[in-house]
Structure formats: structure tokens, C-alpha cells
Structure 1
Amino acid sequence: MPRSRVEGKAWISHEIARLRPATLLDVGAGMGTYSNLLRAVTPGASWSCVEIFEPYVQRFSLHEKYDVIYREDIRAFAWPTAYDVVILGDVLEHLTLDDARLVWAAARANARFVALSIPIVEYPQGPENGNVHEAHLQEWNHDMVLKELAGVVRWQVNPKIGTYLARGAVAS
């Protein structure tokens, strides 16, 4: 679904505010949840997003929430610049494990920090709203996140959603 659970949102908001990013990339923007949530704690920051499903751009007025919108698949994203923070909010569960690892590595290579929100329990979901990309392809748990996704330095585990912060390769 183009929206996400509230679990972990306060934690991510606190962590990102603490980082004081000037540039953010929201991957899988959906309805613009992270822009809505974090604009107040990132004053003056430049917001970009990657959204694979074209109808969401208009339906959720993403042009009002983001400075730059890339309408493409994150697996083929060309990374035009490095970002202070890349947000992978409810994205990796929509990919195979191999693709999730590749996207994670690319995000870390192009960011100072990567923020992740992901279901860490069985959370089946199929295509929705005519969007085949809404289907969950990989089930995750907390231990698997720590094993498969390098660089995680902080986290908060909630009943259904885990939120994580990882260091990227871009120097501060």
C-alpha cells in the first residue's frame, strides 16, 4: 500500500532530525509519508524521491512534497548525486533478497546515512491499486536485517516494524 504503519515513525523522525541533513532521497515515496513527517525537522533541506508507480505521483500530489521526482525502479537508479540521508521506508520487502542486498549496497554507497523501515514479522501483501510493485516478495525479521544489511548502527524493534539507521560510505 502507498502508506505505512506508524510504528517506528517517531524514532526515525528523531534520528533524522539529529543528523541535520541538507539532502534526502525517499525511495518508494508512495503517498509522501516521509516528506509529510520529516519536513518540519529538516528545515531548508532538499527532498527528492524515487517512485516506480507513475499514478502515485499525481494521485498523492508528490510534486508538492518533493523538489525532484525520479519515476523509475530503484534497482536501475543511476544515483545522480550523493545524499545525506536515503530513506528506504517499506521498500526492501517488495524486492527479492538478492535485489534488496543490491539496493541496500547502492544506497549506502551514495549516502552518509540510510534509514530503513521494514516489516519484521510475516506480513503478506499482494498487488494493490493496480500496482504489482505493492506485493511483498521477501519476509524479514530483526536478526535477518542485521545479518544481511551491513552498516546498521542503531535500531528500534517494534511489534511488527523494525526501524534502522546505517552509516553510508559518503563522508560527512
Structure 2
Amino acid sequence: MPSSQYYHISKIMEMIISLNPKSVLDIGSGFGKFGVLCREYLELWDGRQKYEFKRRIDCVEVFQQYISPLHQYIYNKIYNNDILDIAQELDIKYDLVLLIDVLEHFEKDDGSRLLRTLLKNNECILVSTPKNPSPQKDAFGNIHETHKSAWSPSELSSLGNIAFVRDDISWISVISLNSNVISNYNENIKRLRSHGKLPLETKLKRFAKQVPGVADTYKKLKVNRK
């Protein structure tokens, strides 16, 4: 279906925010959910007070019927192709390639070849694939929805430098041939998580500097606490 599990959205977005990519390729965009979330949290949360898009976010969606006006608004470019046919020909080196609930739809040989091509030509990839894919044939009239493979952490780890996120249902990881990308990611995600443990007053101070109107709310709270 043109969707993916909802339970790992917060984990994946934490990873994307920690990577802070200036360009993203969303492969198998489906309904366009992660394109929307990337626009929101990479664009609207970067401190600017202007409603405009500065980052490049493209998508690949092989099934024409999934492409909607939402895609036209969110994505800079839409490739209505099979990624296996165009991965080697893309003329952009993306900071981040998303393969979210996509890898299991490829035969193992095709999937391995695709991963290696993407890693060679782009900065890093974010993979989320179920540990035990359910039996699935076509859905919504789309034969590409068929589940064809299951992947192990050792298979993913053999591709390059990798960082996993703990999850009971899926293998979720960031992979790159550049060890610095993974090192920076690990540092950034630690910093992001530690920020969540800050005292309320510190959080409000930092938030107030970025969002209009919050500064006044913070001042009122501070006065009331006195």
C-alpha cells in the first residue's frame, strides 16, 4: 500500500533531523508522508520566519496512480520510474536517500545492487525494513507492493559504516561509506536526545528564540512562577 508503519515515524524523524540533509531522495514515496515530514521539520524548524522551501527533496514513485497533487507541492522533482532503472543515472548526489519500508519489495540480488549503487553515488541512506515481512502480493492494483525478501543486520552492516536504532519490528539504520557521516550522526543524535532531558525553563528559553509569540508566553510563565 502507499503507506508504511506509523510506530517508527518518531524514530526515523529523529534520525533525519540528526543528519540534517540539504537534499533528500525519497524512494518509494507512496502517499508522500516522509516528504511532508521532511519539509516540515527540516524547513519550518530551522529558525527562519519565512514560509519557503530551500532544501531539495525529490522522490521516486514507480506507480503512477500514487502520485497526487500533494507530491507536486512537496517534492522538487518526481521520478515516475523504477529505481532499479535510474539509480545509476541520477545526476544529483543526495545528502540522504530514504528507503523506508521499500527494501523488502526487491529480490535480494536487486536490493543488494541497489544499495551499493546508492551508497556509491550519495552521502548516506536510511533503511527501514521489517524483520519478518508479512506475505504480501499486489495491493491497490500495484504489483510492486509484493514482498520479496527479508534482510538481516549482518547483510546491512556489510555494506559500509552503519548505525542502528533499536526497534522490535524493523531493522532501522543509517549507512554510509563515509565514516565521518556516521560519527557526526551519532554525536548529533546524542545531543538531540539530551536536549529532551533539559529542564522545562531551559527548553522554553531555547524555543522562545525560534518561534514568534513563544517569548511572551515564557515571560508570563516566569512571572507567574514568582
- TM-score using structure 1 length: 0.89
User: 1:108-142, CA deviations, whole angstroms, 9 ceiling, x for partnerless residues?
Assistant: 11211110111111422110011000000112343
1:104 aligns with 2:115: yes
1:65 CA displacement: 1.9
Q: Are 2:79 and 1:79 aligned?
A: no
In the other structure, the counterpart of 2:17 is: 17
Partner Cα distance (1:129, 1:93) in 2:
17
The match for 2:129 among 102, 118, 139 is 118
Cα gap change, 1:7/1:154 in structure 2, threshold over 3 Å: closer, same or farther? farther
Q: Distance in 2 between matches of 1:168 and 1:110?
A: 10
Structure 2 CA distance for aligned equivalents of residues 20 and 38 of structure 1: 10
**Do 1:7 and 1:158's aligned partners in 2 also have CA atoms closer than 8 Å?**
no
Counterpart of 2:32, as a letter, is G
1:152 shift after superposition: 4.3
Structure 2 counterpart of 1:145, one-letter code:
L
Structure holding more helix per residue:
2
Residues 25, 109 of structure 1: alpha-carbon distance in 2 compared, 3 angstrom cutoff: same
SS of 1:164's equivalent in the other structure is strand
In 2, the alpha carbon distance for the partners of 1:153 and 1:145 equals: 8
- SS of the counterpart of 1:154? strand
Tell me, in whole angstroms, the C-alpha distance in 2 between the residues paired with 1:108 and 1:4: 23
| Aligned-partner Cα distance in 2 for 1:7–1:157 | 13
Equivalent residue in structure 1 for 2:170, among 142, 161, 164: 161
SS in 2 for 1:130: coil
Contact kept? 1:87, 1:115, Cα under 8 Å: yes
Indicate the structure with greater strand content.
Answer: 1
Tell me the SS of whatever aligns to 2:124: strand
TM-score of the superposition, structure 2-length normalised?
0.69
TM-superposed CA distance for 1:143, in Å, is: 4.0
Gap regions ≥5 residues in structure 1: none
In 2, Cα distance between equivalents of 1:93 and 1:80: 26
TM-superposition CA deviations, 1:12-35 (whole Å, max 9, x none): 211211222111000000001211
Bigger RCO of structures 1 and 2 (CA < 8 A, at least 6 apart): 1
- Please say if 1:136 is aligned against 2:158: no
In structure 1, distance between residues paired with 2:71 and 2:78: 8
Q: Partners in 1 of 2:34 and 2:20 — Cα distance?
A: 15
Once the 2 structures are TM-superposed, how far is the Cα of residue 46 of structure 1 from its aligned partner?
Answer: 1.0
Please name the residue that 1:55 is paired with. Answer: 65
SS in 2 for 1:41: helix
Number of matched residues? 168
Asked whether the equivalents of residues 86 and 111 of structure 1 are also in contact (C-alpha less than 8 Å), the reply is: yes
Cα distance in structure 2, aligned partners of 1:144 and 1:110: 20
